[in-house]
Amino acid sequence: MNTRTYDSNRPQEISCGLTYKKGTPQRWGERRYYALDYYLKQNFGEKLYKISLNGGCSCPNRDGTCGTRGCIFCSEGGSGDFAASSSLSVVDQLAYGKGLVRPKYNGHSYIAYFQAYTNTYAPACHLRRIFTEAISDPEVRILSIATRPDCLSPEILTLLAELNAIKPVWVELGLQTIHERTANWMRRGYPLSVFEQAVHSLHAIGVQIITHVILFLPGESEADMLATIHYLNALPIDGIKLQLLHVLRGTDLAADHEAGLFRTYERDEYLNLVIDCLEHLRPDMIIHRITGDGPKDLLIAPLWASRKREVLNMLHHRMKEEQSYQGRLFSH
C-alpha cells in the first residue's frame, strides 16, 4: 500500500458543488472521484446512455493532409469500432443504438456521440445536417463530438456555438500526451500549441471540453505522465478520459508490439498510476473514462483490460483502502 501524506488543511470550494477539506476523504456519491455518472445525475436527474455514431467523416491524418497511416494506435474504424455503419442515416443509427441498450436501460435519455474518425473534418453544411439530425431527436440530451484540435475552423466554431444554444455540446480532443517526442512517435500530426489554441477557442463559445489522455505510452515515465495531468489542470477543460494503451489487431502499434519494441503494463501498475493521476487532478474535472475495453475481437494486449468491471471494482477498493480521492494532491 502506498503511504500518502496530506499537505494542507485549508478548506477549498470546487465547482462541482462540493466544499472539501484537504486531508478529508471525498466522495461523489459512491465514488472517490468525480465520475461522469454522478455529473449526469446531478445535472440531468438520471443516467444517460451514450450511442456511438458514424458521421461519415475522414481524418487529415489518413487522407494525406498531414499523414496517411493515422495515429499508430488507431484502428481501421477510426477509434469508432462500436459505432453503426455510416451508410445508415443518423436517425437509423440512433434507433439501432437504442435497441442495443434497451435490454439494460429503461430510461429515455441519450448522448449522441459522433465517435469515428474526425467529426469536424467535413464541410460545415454536412456537419450541420448530421448534428442537427441528432439533436432533433427529443431523447438526445447531449451532443458529443470527437475530433482533432487542428480541425476547428472559425466556421465550425460558429456552428458548434449555434448547436450549443439548442442542446449541450461536448467536444472531445485526443491530446494523449503533452510531450512532442511521444506525439511524433505516435504520428499525432499537430503540435501542442494547436491543442492549446483549440481549448481556448472552444471555451470562448461555451462548449464543454473533454480531453483524451493515454497512459503508459512507450518511453514515458510516471513523471512525464503526471506532467500531462498538471498541464491540463491549468487549462479550462471540463473532463478527461484516462485510457491505457491498447494494442489492437491491424494497427502499426500491433506490429511494434509483436517485434518486442515496447511492453504493455500489468493491471496493478495501471491502478497505481491511475490513482496518482486522480490525486493530482483538479477535483472539478469530470472523469469520463478511467479505463477501457477495446473490441474483444481486436484486442491483443493487455488482455486484462477486457475485464473492465473487475478493474473498476479493484480501483474503487484500493482508493477506499488508501483513503485516496481525486484532488488530494492537487495544488493551484
pLDDT value of position 76: 66
pLDDT value of position 83: 63
CA distance 106 to 113: 19
- The reply to whether 246 falls in a domain is yes
- The reply to whether 177 falls in a domain is yes
196-235 exposure pattern, b = at least 16 Cβ within 10 A, e = fewer: bebbebbeebebbbbbbbbbbbbebeeeebbebbebbbee
* Residue 14 burial (10 A CB sphere; 0-12, 13-18, 19+): middle
Hey, what's the cell of 231? 498541464
- The reply to whether 328 falls in a domain is no
Q: Which domain holds residue 230?
A: 11-321
- The reply to whether 186 falls in a domain is yes
| Residue where the block lists cell 462548449 | 207
pLDDT value of position 272: 97
Hey, what's the cell of 149? 484540435
216 by DSSP, 3-state: which? coil
pLDDT value of position 25: 61
The pairing of strands 11-14 and 18-21 is: antiparallel
CA geometry: angle 94, 171, 29, nearest 5 deg: 85
101 by DSSP, 3-state: which? helix
CA distance 127 to 142: 16
CA distance 62 to 77: 12
pLDDT value of position 163: 98
CA distance 71 to 46: 36
pLDDT value of position 77: 53
Asked if residue 210 lies in contact with residue 182, where contact means CB atoms within 8 angstroms, the answer is no
| Number of domains, the chain | 1
- The reply to whether 326 falls in a domain is no
pLDDT value of position 85: 77
The pairing of strands 110-114 and 49-53 is: parallel
pLDDT value of position 79: 53
72-92 exposure pattern, b = at least 16 Cβ within 10 A, e = fewer: bbbbebbbbbbbbebebebee
Asked if residue 59 lies in contact with residue 117, where contact means CB atoms within 8 angstroms, the answer is yes
- The reply to whether 189 falls in a domain is yes
Tens digit of each residue's pLDDT (9 = 90 or more) over 77-128: 545 456 677 789 999 999 999 999 988 888 889 999 999 889 999 999 999 9
- The reply to whether 190 falls in a domain is yes
Q: What is the CATH number of the domain that holds 159?
A: 3.20.20
| Residue where the block lists cell 489518413 | 62
Tens digit of each residue's pLDDT (9 = 90 or more) over 200-215: 999 999 999 999 999 9
CA distance 72 to 61: 10
- The reply to whether 4 falls in a domain is no
pLDDT value of position 27: 86
Asked if residue 91 lies in contact with residue 131, where contact means CB atoms within 8 angstroms, the answer is no
CA distance 105 to 113: 17
Asked if residue 227 lies in contact with residue 178, where contact means CB atoms within 8 angstroms, the answer is yes
**Residues in contact with 202: Cβ distance below 8 Å, sequence separation at least 6, in sequence order:** 152, 157, 160, 171, 209
Low-confidence ranges of the chain (pLDDT < 70): 1-25, 75-83, 293
